[in-house]
A = this chain, B = another copy of it.
């Protein structure tokens, strides 16, 4: 099974993708593996063991092997995984070979930062359009990109083939923006505004709430303080270093 090292992009010949039914937990870890692999590739490594890659990604090696086994065996027993091959494989699975177009709505405090965030471009995403509802912001150039009015979103999204939208507006506007995005054909939304978005079932929403992350940390602070106040205060074995993704 491992012999079929098809040099071409690890896809399928014809129209049958036979898309692997990956567990969500695995999907959430693939980007982390990918980052670690890129780092390894830069250092010149050609192969990695599951142990090595697991350490670089901050996970258990058994978990890593099981994750990778889900997307087809691309390792060699006794040797490890081919770094370049695995990168191609994961990037294909994640659909990063498409250089996906992303639009961002809401050029406020956070939106500004996101528009200039280098981490997007370096990992296969192009921010191709910025929108805002405030006429005073329309025309402003950020990182070489002009802010457009949200009324133009529908047209621009069609022109550029945008399928992913990022919402960085105040909470009150988020649902309205989501509706506009959905109407424009966007099927994946990354939402930075607090609150729950209501969208059709075929649209995926991921939410990042910065305050929630702090609140979770606050809980652990509270817990640790309670424990150390107690006589039997163990030094907090609780799971630290947990990634945030699902």
Contacts and interface: CB of A to CB of B under 8 A. Distances in A.
Interface of A: 3-5, 15-17, 19, 22, 24, 27-28, 30-32, 34-36, 39, 56-58, 93-96, 98, 100, 102, 109-110, 112-114, 116-120, 122-125, 163-164, 166, 187-190, 194-197, 199, 201-230, 235-246
A216 B109 contact: no
A201 B3 contact: no
A204 B230 contact: no
Contacts of A230: 16-17
Contact of A3 (B31, B110, B215, B229): B229
A19 B223 contact: yes
A215 B30 contact: yes
A219 B30 CA distance: 10
A245 B246 contact: yes
A27 B214 contact: no
B187 A221 contact: yes
Q: How many copies does the complex hold?
A: 2
A205 B63 CA distance: 20
Contacts of A113: 109-110, 112-114
Given A27-B216, A229-B5, A117 B210 contact: yes
A245 B244 CA distance: 6
A220 B164 CA distance: 11
B218 A164 contact: yes
Contacts of A122: 211
A124 B212 CA distance: 11
A218 B100 contact: yes
B35 A195 contact: yes
A218 B124 contact: yes
Contacts of A225: 3, 5, 95
16 contacts: A24-B239, A35-B194, A35-B195, A100-B214, A122-B211, A188-B220, A201-B236, A202-B236, A202-B240, A206-B216, A206-B242, A207-B242, A207-B244, A212-B245, A244-B244, A244-B246
